Chains A and B, each alone.
Chain A
Amino acid sequence: MYSDLYKGGVFISNPYPIDDVGIKKTTLPNKVILPLNERMTEKATPCVKVGDLVLTGQVIASNDDFNSVPIHATVSGQVTAIDDHLIPHKSGFKTQCITIQSDGKDEWVKDENSTKDYWKYPQSLLIEKIHYAGIVGMGGAGFPTHIKLGLSQNCSTIIVNGTECEPGIMCDDALMQNYPSQVIKGVEILLHICGAERAIIAIENDKPDAYNSLLINNNNDRISIAHVPTKYTSGSEKLLTKTILDKEIPSGDFAIDVGIVCLNVATVKAIFDIIIEGKPLVSRIVTVTGSGVSKPYNYEARLGSSFEDIVSLSSPNKLKHDVRMGGMMMGIDVPSTDVPISKTCNCIFINNRVAKDTARECIRCGSCNQACPVGLLPQQLYWYSKSEKTDKAVEYSLFDCIECACCSYVCPSNIPLVEYFSFAKALHRNTSEEKRKANIARERFEYREFRLERNKTERAQMMEAKKKAIKEKMAKEKSQKDKITKAMERVNTNKKNKINE
């Protein structure tokens, strides 16, 4: 087992543990709602119209931007609407979505170019296929996987992240227990794509069942399975790399910059699905948990089905609930369960609504600084973020904050520190953008002034030169005239002299 190689972090056990971590396959939803812009990607343009019939896995929207991924129908049926709908977003945004009414048949598109024998195909083709399948980082960040893999030529090690992102989430654990051979196969495909020497699957030490099932299924000596301490924030790419390889990814860089590809297990399973089975990403495993449900469990749900579809399976109580997408630490509060499940939705927390403890003043106790896994001083950052002195906050490494919320969790004054930090980051980005624009405008203005001034002096110089030239010319002409008249005089006198003689 790997030891604790980074300081900070917090130890939190699953607040709502269950005995058997399994997966319940849900019945097909009646309808799915698919947003045209998922996180991190540009808005896609629909390539279907209302009334069109679509098959499961068919591309229904895409765009030319390499950084975005196409959107697929996740059930077969008819497109019934393309309009605005509430999506799970911090700000309660509405965005354009495609609604598909299911026909209940779940007919799939055919995989025309099978890549079952993936080792026969060049890396670029496989990456293209992963791009086509709409695969993004399924741990929560949603970074398009094909971009990561496209940069992986010099990669030495693949880290497969099987540490649950946050306490309470069980979807990765369930996935590894239910699909161990697919995960291993997926890792083998990745080894082929990246040309890496080895792959390490990291699993927290409180998940022995997942560990064992992967171990049994692994016959590849380039793949190893590692136990890491169950400490919160170990799931972060940087801290996981530190834990496993004792390598510190420089500030501002990503794992890929030091030759490491780090992917979530669910992403690896999705890669298996497209390369071997020819199935694009249309479903994911979601944990439903929290104080408001009596049976926390994992569900394999079609993307675009509503939160309500699977929350209702976990026997929610009748009280008022707070709905949260993602974990208790880094998740976001969403207004209701009437929002669609997205590719990054690993967990839905349904909590009984309780009166919130108000925040008190910061007493600079330093608990946050002890808990911070990246060695920041949240108490100082808080001070500068609150007073909007973002330059000073940046000096205190504001942008190294991974927003893991360990500081908010331990704060005895109950201050929502991370909210201050993400606000300060946005504020700083805005002000520096404004500053940049103002600078450009100022430079332009100054250059214009300079240019006008320069033109003026140039023109004056030119005029001066011209005047001088004319003067010189006139002087020259005059002297020539003089010479001629002198010569004429000489001739005349000579003539006179001759006549006189």
Chain B
Amino acid sequence: MNSGELNTSQVMRQVIYALGLGVGASFYFFGWGVLIQIVLGIVTALVSESVFLSFRGLPVKPTIADGSAILTAILLAISIPTMAPWWIIVVGVTFAIIFGKQIYGGLGNNPFNPAMLGYAFLLISYPLQMTTWGSDYVNIEQSINAIFNISSVDILTGATKLDEVKMQISLGTHIENLDIYSLSQSWINAGFLVGGLYLLIRKIIYWQIPTAFILGIFATAGLLFLIDDNIYLPPQLHLMLGASMLGAFFIATDPVSSSTTPKGRLIYGFLIGMLVVIIRVFGGYPDGVAFAVLLINIAVPLIDSYTKPKVFGK
């Protein structure tokens, strides 16, 4: 039986296409790094999944063809610094595929978002490499040199905007004296926002998670901003910084690890949005999307069992 609608691998492909705009924005501002990371990530994902599947004695081709490993690789590749050394993405994707997905029995059985599990693993294990971001456009030659460590390249590096702001605030600087706007990050976020809207229109993702996610960020950040606008960023900035839009439309919406009931999706999204801000503001890490998603992934079975929809006639 087939409804003529998209099948699972077509869904994955659509999600990959929708990432295009955000990736394009990243390319425009930071150069070739992002594309090299994506290629490295995809190759690693295909190799590690094939190897693991053959260890498990399962057919390789149909599973690879579902596109989920490729999507995981891309999501992780665009989350790490564009100039991170090559082994970062290789280690991260391998971990994500094997320990984030295959070890639970493959696609559909993983309780955690594999890409975010890989990200969290990298951030904890290699904090230096994971928080050093390039801050300028880098051409292809320089990118290859930097990523593969062929020769030392003079690239302007620094912390992300969120990191920088946090540091300044902790030093006692008032927000009004800080340059809190980041053109590149706003454009990248806008790119993911448009891609996400495309997925919504195609009905590939449901509106509940992104809406609640954004609402969660806005409400939590707004509350803090009302309490003290000297040390807390305005809520609209939280939305356009870091991985907010990527998280709202592409990461939290991973169907496998997210809540599956309509009401549950609202709760799930909102809690993640809330945690993102709390981790950003009070936590030790610059961005909170990965940890927030993983933490609320744990709560999914509980959320689902309390949000069963009304059954006809009951």
A and B held together in a complex:
yes
Contact: B107 with A363, CB < 8 Å?
yes
How far is B311's CA from A252's CA once the two chains are assembled, in angstroms? 11
Whose C-beta in chain A lies nearest to the C-beta of B265?
A: A366
How far is B62's CA from A361's CA once the two chains are assembled, in angstroms? 11
Q: Which residues of B contact A360 (CB under 8 A)?
A: 7-9, 62, 66, 107
Q: Distance in Å from the Cβ of A415 to the closest Cβ of chain B?
A: 10
In the complex, chain B residues 252-293 whose Cβ is within 8 Å of any chain A Cβ = 255-256, 258, 260-262
Contact: A412 with B312, CB < 8 Å?
no
Q: Which residues of B contact A6 (CB under 8 A)?
A: 312
A219 within 8 A of B: no
How far is B37's CA from A87's CA once the two chains are assembled, in angstroms? 61
B106 within 8 A of A: yes
Contact: A396 with B308, CB < 8 Å?
yes
Q: Which residues of A contact B256 (CB under 8 A)?
A: 363-364
How far is B312's CA from A252's CA once the two chains are assembled, in angstroms? 10
In the complex, chain A residues 252-311 whose Cβ is within 8 Å of any chain B Cβ = 252-253
How far is B3's CA from A6's CA once the two chains are assembled, in angstroms? 21
Contact: B5 with A410, CB < 8 Å?
yes
B177 within 8 A of A: no
A131 within 8 A of B: no
Contact: A369 with B260, CB < 8 Å?
yes
B20 within 8 A of A: no
Contact: A250 with B1, CB < 8 Å?
no
CB within 8 Å for A380 and B62 given contacts A238-B312, A251-B314, A400-B314: no
B47 within 8 A of A: no
Contact: B108 with A362, CB < 8 Å?
yes
Q: Distance in Å from the Cβ of B251 to the closest Cβ of chain A?
A: 15
How far is B66's CA from A396's CA once the two chains are assembled, in angstroms? 29
User: In the complex, which of the residues B6, B9, B68, B313 contacts A400, with contact meaning CB atoms closer than 8 Å?
Assistant: B313
In the complex, chain B residues 85-118 whose Cβ is within 8 Å of any chain A Cβ = 106-109
Q: How many chain B residues touch A (Cβ–Cβ < 8 Å)?
A: 32
Stretch at the interface among A28-36, A44-52, A108-116, A371-379: A371-379
User: In the complex, which of the residues A239, A252, A369, A416 contacts B309, with contact meaning CB atoms closer than 8 Å?
Assistant: A369
A249 within 8 A of B: yes
Q: Which residues of A contact B7 (CB under 8 A)?
A: 357, 360, 412-414
Q: Distance in Å from the Cβ of A150 to the closest Cβ of chain B?
A: 23
User: In the complex, which of the residues A239, A249, A365, A375 contacts B311, with contact meaning CB atoms closer than 8 Å?
Assistant: A375
A190 within 8 A of B: no
Write the B2-32 contact mask toward A (1 if CB under 8 angstroms, else 0): 1101111111000000000000000000000
How far is B314's CA from A412's CA once the two chains are assembled, in angstroms? 29
Contact: A375 with B309, CB < 8 Å?
yes
Contact: B108 with A361, CB < 8 Å?
yes
Q: Distance in Å from the Cβ of B156 to the closest Cβ of chain A?
A: 41
Q: Which residues of B contact A364 (CB under 8 A)?
A: 108, 255-256, 258, 260
Give the most central of B9, B206, B308: most A CB within 10 Å: B308
User: In the complex, which of the residues A252, A396, A397, A409 contacts B1, with contact meaning CB atoms closer than 8 Å?
Assistant: A409
Q: Which residues of B contact A249 (CB under 8 A)?
A: 313
Q: Distance in Å from the Cβ of A294 to the closest Cβ of chain B?
A: 22
Whose C-beta in chain A lies nearest to the C-beta of B208?
A: A366
Contact: A412 with B62, CB < 8 Å?
no
Q: Which residues of A contact B62 (CB under 8 A)?
A: 358, 360
How far is B3's CA from A412's CA once the two chains are assembled, in angstroms? 8
Write the B123-134 contact mask toward A (1 if CB under 8 angstroms, else 0): 000000000000
Contact: A379 with B311, CB < 8 Å?
no
CB within 8 Å for A409 and B3 given contacts A361-B109, A377-B261: yes
B304 within 8 A of A: yes
Q: Distance in Å from the Cβ of B145 to the closest Cβ of chain A?
A: 39
In the complex, chain B residues 191-213 whose Cβ is within 8 Å of any chain A Cβ = 206
Q: Which residues of B contact A314 (CB under 8 A)?
A: none
How far is B312's CA from A400's CA once the two chains are assembled, in angstroms? 8
Q: Which residues of B contact A409 (CB under 8 A)?
A: 1-3
CB within 8 Å for A365 and B261 given contacts A376-B311, A409-B3: no
Q: Which residues of B contact A358 (CB under 8 A)?
A: 62
Contact: A357 with B310, CB < 8 Å?
no
Identify the 7 closest CB pairs spanning chains A and B, nearest first.
A361-B108, A374-B312, A251-B313, A365-B255, A251-B314, A397-B311, A361-B107
Binding site for A on B (CB under 8 A): 1-3, 5-11, 62, 66, 68, 106-109, 206, 255-256, 258, 260-262, 304, 308-314
Other contacts beyond A329-B1, A357-B2: 4, CB < 8 A: A369-B262, A375-B310, A409-B3, A413-B8
A-B contact pairs, 8 of them (CB 8 A): A10-B3, A248-B313, A360-B8, A361-B66, A361-B107, A409-B3, A413-B7, A414-B7
